[in-house]
Amino acid sequence: MTDTRTGYIYKIEVDNELLYIGSTTNLRVRKNCHKSRCCNEKDKEYNKNLYKILRENFNINRENFNNKVKFLWVCDVEFNKRCELGSVEAEYIKLYNPIGNTTKPYGKEWNQNEYNIKNKDKIKEYQKKNYNKNKDKRLKYQKEYNNKPEIKDKIKQYKKKYSKSNKSKRKCLFCNKWIQKAPSHWNKHIISNKHKKNLISFIDDFTDTRDSCLNIVKV
């Protein structure tokens, strides 16, 4: 039995236009990563489609990035293996087909296992390198962020509202329904058509509710 972790599907919008869908285990770190890629000419990913669109079509630069680029939480994903998070992300990319997503996660055939097996060593090496490189900085950052009184309070409120006392279940706030927390149940639910339909109407209709959820992860 491996530990279950929580990841997030997020989307990037500018001027209410959906540009990108991604997944991460840390929204704050991921946003800063996008910012660097978009605004730092020396970044390897600088010329990727998403960043070109942000700069050329929306005039995004280092100064206006935080204000203009909306980095929005879409849903939580429970996972044991990172590829499970990727496969949920793939479902959402297929659903929305955002213009900034050029490469599909885990390759053309959406075959994450094949991708992972082929690139196992490369992925490991990359993760290790990157992790160690920024480890201290990141830990300090995360600690500071999580300790902010307003963030602490919001996390507490959120947990209270959505976790109830039943630890093996969690509430899907889009469907207003309790689901088993285990990835086999939860992930099946969040890629179901019913959930996607609720998610879309939720996002369209309940801006206020969405914003209050998003505040938790606003960076």
Which of 101, 195, 210, 217 is close enough to bind Zn ion by CB under 5 A? Answer: 195
Query: Cα 85 from chain centroid?
Result: 9
Could you tell me the smallest distance in angstroms from the CB atom of residue 82 to Zn ion? 22
95 contacts: CB under 8 Å, gap ≥ 6 = 196
Identity of the residue, 14 or 172, whose beta carbon is nearer to Zn ion in the bound complex? 172
Identity of the residue, 93 or 172, whose beta carbon is nearer to Zn ion in the bound complex? 172
Residues in region 165-194 near Zn ion by CB under 5 A: 172, 174-175
Structure tokens at 70: 């909306």
Identity of the residue, 115 or 186, whose beta carbon is nearer to Zn ion in the bound complex? 186
Contacts with Zn ion by CB under 5 A: the residue count is: 4
Could you tell me the smallest distance in angstroms from the CB atom of residue 48 to Zn ion? 31
Identity of the residue, 195 or 210, whose beta carbon is nearer to Zn ion in the bound complex? 195
Could you tell me the smallest distance in angstroms from the CB atom of residue 159 to Zn ion? 18
Identity of the residue, 51 or 76, whose beta carbon is nearer to Zn ion in the bound complex? 76
Could you tell me the smallest distance in angstroms from the CB atom of residue 134 to Zn ion? 34
Could you tell me the smallest distance in angstroms from the CB atom of residue 169 to Zn ion? 13
Query: Residues interacting with Zn ion, by CB under 5 A?
Result: 172, 174-175, 195
